[in-house]
A and B are shown apart, each in its own frame.
Chain A
Amino acid sequence: MAAPQPSTPRRTRIRGWVGDIRLLALATSLAVTASAGLVQSKAKSKADPTFAKDVAPLVTKKCLTCHKGKGSPAGIDLSKFKTQTDAQKDTATWERVATAVSTGIMPPKGSPTLTKAQRDAIKSWVDKLVSSDCRLADPGKVTIRRLNREEYNNTVRDLLGLDVRPADDFPSDDVGNGFDNIGDVLSISPLLMEKYLGAAEQLSKAAIKLPVENQALYQAEEYGTGRGEYAALTTRGEVAFIHDFKPGIYRIKVRAFEDHAGPENSKMLVSVNGEPVQEFQVTARRTAPTLYEMPYRAQFGKWKVSVEFLNDFYQPNNPPANRDRNLWIDYIEIVGPIGGNAGLPESHRRIIPSDPPAGKEREFAQRYLRAFATRAYRRPVSSEELERLMAVFDLAKKYKEPFERGMQLGVQAVLVSPNFLFRAEIDPKVNPGAARSLNGYELATRLSYFLWSSMQDARLMMLAGDGSLAKPEILKSEVRRMLRDKKAVALADNFAEQWLTLRKLEIIVPDPQRFPDFNAELKAAMKEETKRFFTYVVANDRSILDFLDGKYTFLNGTLAKHYGIANVQGSEFRKVSLEGTQRAGVLTQGSILTVTSNPTRTSPTKRGRWVLEQILGTPPPPPPPGADVFATDGKVASAVTLREKMLFHRQKPECATCHQKMDPLGFGLENFDAVGAWRTKDGDAPIDASGELPTGEKFAGPTQLRNLLLKDKHQFVHAFSEKMLTYALGRGLAPADRCHVDTITKQVEKSKYTFSSLIESIVMSDPFRKRRTS
């Protein structure tokens, strides 16, 4: 079982060190506490601040007036810390304190102030308190992860070679820590289990074809004028439907009979795609319907198959038995293409490379089910597991069904097995609680689901099998190879969509009255822009700072028009320079500006919060209960501009602390309306895109805002590394991960901020390559 954990809820711990309230920690909070730095600072420590001497007196004098006892502001009760030992038990709280103090947020205006030296003393004491030695840090334990929907789709695509997305019909995956690949929250409901079983059956049948398959039965009464179980053609009607033909020879069979009347039998014409195939004289009567068969050579395509009645006869004066000639159709059966393996899909041959020699079916099955299960389970299969699969395969024979049916059942069983649906890392039963390196297959699996959201390919399996993947040079070169692979687009599909909250675009509906230009096409273009931008950074190994201020983007005609950028026409996306515009990076892309707006107007607060949370990794705490009540104040309603209304946020201290961080950031983007179009006026009022941060720094407009963010790029890189590490591991980060994030951040900063340096640092880190055993 897990090593003892502090009893604080994990969320508090994580948030704590990520820093609920660490904001644009401009310049002041740049102190880096990576392990390397730690060793040095220890060596030259002369008069390190201590709790008793330096911190406690300040806390008593400056903080305890408010932060004391139950119900303390922001939940920070400092009265419980009497000694250094107390502080060590809850480092998360102290990190929040350090951030608040070093950035000037605390103490608030009107309260006792702290000198620069006092702030520095608290900060450096906390830095020491929370820093730990990376070499000793707990690599953490990832909860067993089931495939999420995207991973399932990608995995069956790569495993079977089928172009299908069965998981689109699965229930949503729950999201934790900002991502939907977190083992702790990925659960299995009975509904999902049913979907797994159903999808596995359909996939196995799509992948492997039975020898005499391709038999389709069309009940005639559904495709013509039905009378009970038959279609009745009484005048000149037809029975017609569309059949999906593959190239090859078919047999078409029609079961029919006639009501005989007049001098001749009913004439029945069978046509495909309007061209006659064969005409029949139907002599069979109701008591004995007969099959009328014909061969047909088909071209590829969906063609209309029709059965017509050509010679109606009706003589009301005749005796009933000879009065009315009608043609009755029971069903039409289409069999084909017949013979040979030409029609076999690639997926079939991928699992069963050749037909089994007679009498050797079982050996054959064993061999190829082992190969298939090895790929599906992402590791070698035990003989027990294989035996169980063979028992399923044997069912087919028992029920006199063909070899291929047995293989279908085997494949279906593999796809429902927990060994496929879960990515398990099984610890040897020695040294519980100790860290261990992942084995080759586990490492390969983590790597491929991190970068491709899918199973490993043959090369990774080979490197996993011979143990060489654990070698740093090989691991690094594999990372570079994988990032260049097309499948790395999964990082945009999954990581970027969630990091940048792009999936919210699906549910956002801007007011069509105010934003008539916003439609499905524009929405799709917005999403495409951001994903192409992200993919470009990945594929070209650009600096991750491009996300902040890359002066280029990807546009098609629709989006360029929306942005007011000339000379981009047509539906094709292309790279477009943004030099000379106010746009750069992701922050000014339509997708993000739209998801951070209300349906009828912009929301500087939401935009500011988005920057704090997604870009800087310092989400503000949510508003206190009843936060909106002051809006009833008539003054708010009568305020003219949005900015004036927002100023009311500052009137209440419990609102001001956060809004003085959020709102200015959002105001910097006010030149972009609620769907990301450029504007200079809001109604009749000119846009004022200026802002002032709590630190006193002023700016106006998106470009200056970006420059401020760039000034603190360390904060961005750190936050981005945290998010990427969370995604890579599939678990929330814990305090012990801090030193690893610091190290990763440092390495990225040393490597010109390249995307690959980030991925490489994460892959090489202990949390990624090791785990704490159960």
Chain B
Amino acid sequence: MNKVIDRRTFLRGVGTTMALPLLEGMLPMGALAQSASKASKPIRMACIFVPNGLSMAEWRPAAEGANYALPNLLQPLQSIRSEFSILSGLSQDNAAALGDGPGDHARSTACWLTGVHPRKTAGADIKNGISVDQVAAQKIGSATPFASLELGCERGAMAGDCDSGYSCAYSSNVSWRSESNPVAKEVNPRLVFERLFGSGDKAGEAQSRARRDLFNQSILDMVMEDASRLRSRLGKKDQGKLDEYFQGVRDIEQRIVKMENLGKQMALAESKKPTGIPPDYGEHIRLMGDMMVLAFQADLTRICTFMFANDGSNRSFGFIGVPEGHHDMSHHGGEAAKLEKKRKIDQFQIEQLAYILRRLKETKEGDSNLLDNSLILFGAGISDGNRHNHDDLPVLLAGKAGGTFRTGRHIVYQNHTPLNNLFLSMLDRMGVRLETLGNSTGKLNQLF
């Protein structure tokens, strides 16, 4: 009879302590199996964002090179210190005011992965650049069912103009697929899971699934007709909105085709999937991290962005003894008590990062592991939350890009070296060869 049942049975046997069972050995087909057996393994790339800057005094190692003493803040990463490098001196100078006045939180979020100075507007005429993840997605995203995955733990803003005259679109999105089109993120782990693996089609419904895909294809064909008729009757700005629609439909069409190819592994949906957003913030972050790891592992996507929170977030961290708001504490004004609280928050964030990196490392892939075949960028758009500066940003790069990057070091670049230089190097490892990206001045040296 149907083998899906065996898999289900297997999954029931997996312990529940892990948020999700590992998938190795259960993916008989698809890109992962192929790639794991062949020499060229796909490189994955993730950009993990934290808000309100970091406690730089506790972050930046004193010494350069491999034998630096691990600073206070990085202690949770002790056991995997050889798996990442700290890169100092990288900057996003276009996140600075440049005559636009205040609004650093929004501006630096929008600038973090684009290197572009976003246009100051509360609504009309949103303009930013294309972010590095989307540059990669547009070049190599077609290799996987999902060109990219956007995750977060906070929804977009609740009200108001988000930061000093900047639209909330800027402060809640690091991923931008075009100048005016931020890529919305998913904050509910259950919905991420269902998106990746389907919401639980029953065994034996493969045929009806194929039928459904076929119907959906036809419906999409039809609405594309509707859209192009509509588009031709609209003004230019409105046409831009319709273009987003077209892009969205095309994405789905491609996915339907690829999902067919991937076939039955999607029926995994009956394993222990998350039930929703857990009340515990740390668990929420870790669960989203699990989703990222899972998506990478099953090669459903190779590109992910993950915002622990939106910039300017004033979340209270009462559970680690910081009932005050994060943003309030980031404006520590040099006060010892506030600095200590900001440090606690940052340490908590680093602990979550450590969990995600360990999960990647524990996930075997052929004779190496997922972390070795990844590039995980962790950082913030603001350096010191009190000063709101965007030079010498906190940047941690984990993973060896398939063994082509050397990790375990503190590399110091000249301050104001564009962060986009790092992006160029990362893209290169992803197989996207570009000479320039925004304000880049060349690829970053010393990574090899």
Residue from A15, A422, A511, A630 in contact with B316 in the complex, judged by beta carbons closer than 8 Å: A511
| Inter-chain contact A632/B333, CB cutoff 8 Å | yes
- A191 B186 Cβ-Cβ under 8 A: yes
Q: Using CB atoms, name the residue of chain B closest to A70.
A: B99
Question: In whole Å, how far is B137's beta carbon from the nearest beta carbon of chain A?
Answer: 10
Q: Mark A385-398, 1 if CB is under 8 A from B, else 0.
A: 10011011001000
A391 pairs with B323, CB closer than 8 A: no
Query: A600 to chain B: which residues have CB within 8 Å?
Result: 323-324
- Interface segment among A235-243, A262-270, A496-504, A568-576: the answer is A496-504
A625 touches B315 (CB 8 A): no
Would B121 and A190 count as touching, CB distance under 8 A? no
Cβ 8 A contact of A388, one of B1, B222, B236, B248:
B222
- Asked whether, in the complex, the Cβ of B219 is within 8 Å of the Cβ of A392, the reply is yes
8 Å CB interface, A196-235 against B: 197, 201, 217, 219, 221-222, 226, 228-229
Are A426's CB and B233's CB within 8 A?
yes
Pick from A28-36, A172-180, A482-490 the stretch touching chain B. A172-180
The smallest C-beta distance from B346 to any residue of chain A, in angstroms, reads 18
**Inter-chain contacts of B202 with A (CB < 8 A):** 217, 219
Whether B245 lies near A599 (C-beta < 8 A) is no
For the complex, give the distance between the alpha carbons of A141 and B185 in Å.
Answer: 29
Asked whether, in the complex, the Cβ of B388 is within 8 Å of the Cβ of A598, the reply is no
A774 partner residues in chain B, CB cutoff 8 A? 234-236, 238
Complex Cα–Cα for A580 and B122 (A): 42
Q: Is B215 an interface residue (CB 8 A)?
A: yes
- Say whether A182 contacts B123, CB under 8 Å: yes
Nearest CB of chain B from residue A265's CB, rounded to whole Å = 24
Q: Check A598 against B169 for contact (C-beta < 8 Å).
A: no
Residue of A nearest to B309 (CB): A507
CB nearest neighbor in B for A200? B219
Q: B233 CB to closest chain A CB, in angstroms?
A: 5
A388 adjacent to B225 (CB under 8 Å): yes
B257 at the interface (CB under 8 A from A): no
**Contact in complex: A11, B121 (CB < 8 Å):** yes
A34 to B226, CA, bound (A): 44
**A residues within 8 A CB of B119?**
9
The reply to whether the CB of A298 lies closer than 8 angstroms to some CB of chain B is no
Evaluate contact between B241 and A176: CB separation under 8 angstroms.
Answer: no
Nearest to A330 among chain B residues (CB) is B1
Q: Is A172 a contact of B184 with CB atoms below 8 Å?
A: yes
Contact with B along A164-178 (1 / 0, CB 8 A): 000001011111111
Contacts of A409 in B (CB 8 A): 215, 218-219
Q: Which residues of A contact B331 (CB under 8 A)?
A: 628, 631
Q: Mark A14-53, 1 if CB is under 8 A from B, else 0.
A: 1100000000000000000000000000000000000000
User: Judging by beta carbons under 8 Å apart, are B318 and A189 in contact?
Assistant: no
Contacts of A399 in B (CB 8 A): 211
A426 and B183 contacting across the interface, CB-CB below 8 Å: no
How many B residues touch the partner, as a band?
A: 35 or more
The interface bits of chain B over 99-120 (1 if a CB of A lies within 8 angstroms of the residue's CB, else 0) are: 1011110000000000000011
Q: Which single member of B172, B218, B333 contacts A172 (CB below 8 Å)?
A: B172
Q: Is the CB of A418 within 8 A of B226?
A: yes
Q: Is A2 an interface residue (CB 8 A)?
A: yes
Give Cα distance in the complex from A498 to B158, angstroms: 8
Report yes or no: A193 in contact with B160, Cβ–Cβ below 8 A.
Answer: no
In the bound complex, residues from chain A placing their C-beta under 8 Å from that of B157 are: 172, 174-175
Closest to B126 in A: A185
Given contacts A190-B252, A384-B229, A625-B97, contact A498 B318 (CB under 8 A): no
Closest A residue to B270 by CB, please name it: A222
- Name which of B18-26, B174-182, B401-409, B424-432 contacts chain A: B174-182
- Asked if residues A391 and B222 are in contact (CB atoms below 8 Å), the reply is yes
Task: For the complex formed, measure the closest distance between the CB of B266 and the CB atoms of chain A, giving whole angstroms.
Answer: 14
- Closest residue to A515 on the B side, CB-wise? B323
CB of B442 within 8 Å of the partner chain = no
Q: Is B244 in contact with chain A by the CB < 8 A criterion?
A: yes
Chain A contacts of B318 at CB under 8 A? Answer: 509, 511-513, 599
Report yes or no: A598 in contact with B238, Cβ–Cβ below 8 A: no
Tell me the complex Cα distance, A350–B272, Å.
Answer: 39
A171 lies within 8 A of B123 (CB): no
- CB proximity of B189 to chain A, nearest CB, Å: 12
B223 touches A418 (CB 8 A): yes
- Given A185-B126, A413-B219, residue A418 in contact with residue B230 (CB < 8 A): yes
Q: How many Å lie between the Cα of A197 and that of B250 in the bound state?
A: 12
- A621-B102 contact given A183-B241, A189-B182, CB 8 Å threshold: yes
Q: Contact between B124 and A197 (Cβ–Cβ < 8 Å)?
A: no
* Closest residue on chain B to residue A624 by CB atoms: B102
Q: Does A506 contact B (CB under 8 A)?
A: yes
**Contact partner, B230, options A146, A219, A419, Cβ 8 Å:** A419
- Give Cα A12 to B248, complex, Å: 33
Specify which of A2, A12, A506, A636 is in contact with B158 (CB 8 Å cutoff).
A506
Cβ-defined partner of B120 (8 Å) among A11, A510, A624: A11
Within 8 A of B (CB), among A311-367: none
B104, B160, B227, B234: most-surrounded residue (chain A CB, <10 A): B160
In contact, B167 and A197 (Cβ under 8 angstroms): no
Interfacial chain A residues near B102, Cβ < 8 Å: 621-625
A504-B159 contact in complex given A395-B215, A509-B316, C-beta closer than 8 Å: yes
Give every chain A residue within 8 A of B184 (Cβ-Cβ).
171-172, 187, 189, 191-192
Q: What chain B residues lie within 8 Å of A636 (beta carbons)?
A: 333
Q: Output the least CB separation between B119 and chain A (Å).
A: 7
Q: Would A143 and B126 be within 8 Å (CB), given that A174-B168, A187-B180 are in contact?
A: no
Do residues B177 and A189 form an inter-chain contact, with CB atoms below 8 A? yes
- A residues in contact with B104, CB < 8 Å: 625
Residues of B within 8 A of A171 (CB): 155-156, 184-186
- In the bound complex, do residue B234 and residue A424 qualify as a contact, i.e. CB atoms below 8 Å apart? yes
- Decide: A513 and B323 in contact? CB cutoff 8 A: yes
Interface residues of B in 386-423 (CB under 8 A from A): 386-388
A732 and B123 contacting across the interface, CB-CB below 8 Å: yes
Contact in complex: A628, B234 (CB < 8 Å): no
Q: How long is the Cα–Cα vector from A513 to B155 in the complex, in angstroms?
A: 27
A507 to B220, CA, bound (A): 37
Cβ contacts under 8 Å, A454 to chain B: none
Judging by beta carbons under 8 Å apart, are B223 and A176 in contact?
no
How far is it, in angstroms, between the C-alpha of A2 and the C-alpha of B325 when the chains are bound? 43
Say whether A226 contacts B387, CB under 8 Å.
Answer: no
CA distance A556 to B223 in the complex (A): 49
Q: How far is the CB of A333 from chain B (nearest CB, A)?
A: 12
Indicate if A693 sits at the interface (CB-CB under 8 A). no
Expressed in whole angstroms, the minimum distance between the Cβ of B330 and any Cβ of chain A is 10
Can you list 9 A-B pairs with a CB-CB distance of less than 8 A?
Answer: A146-B241, A171-B186, A172-B184, A174-B167, A188-B245, A422-B245, A426-B234, A507-B158, A622-B103
Additional A-B contact list (14), CB under 8 Å, known A184-B237, A510-B316, A629-B333: A10-B122, A12-B120, A141-B235, A174-B173, A177-B123, A184-B123, A184-B126, A191-B150, A191-B186, A191-B195, A395-B215, A418-B226, A598-B328, A629-B386
Binding site for A on B (CB under 8 A): 1-2, 5-6, 8-9, 12, 97, 99, 101-104, 119-126, 147, 150, 154-165, 167-169, 172-173, 177, 180-186, 188, 191, 195, 202-203, 211-212, 215-216, 218-220, 222-223, 225-227, 229-230, 233-238, 241-242, 244-245, 247-249, 251-252, 255, 314-316, 318, 323-325, 328, 331-335, 386-388
> What 3 A-B pairs are tightest by C-beta distance, nearest first?
A176-B123, A774-B235, A193-B248
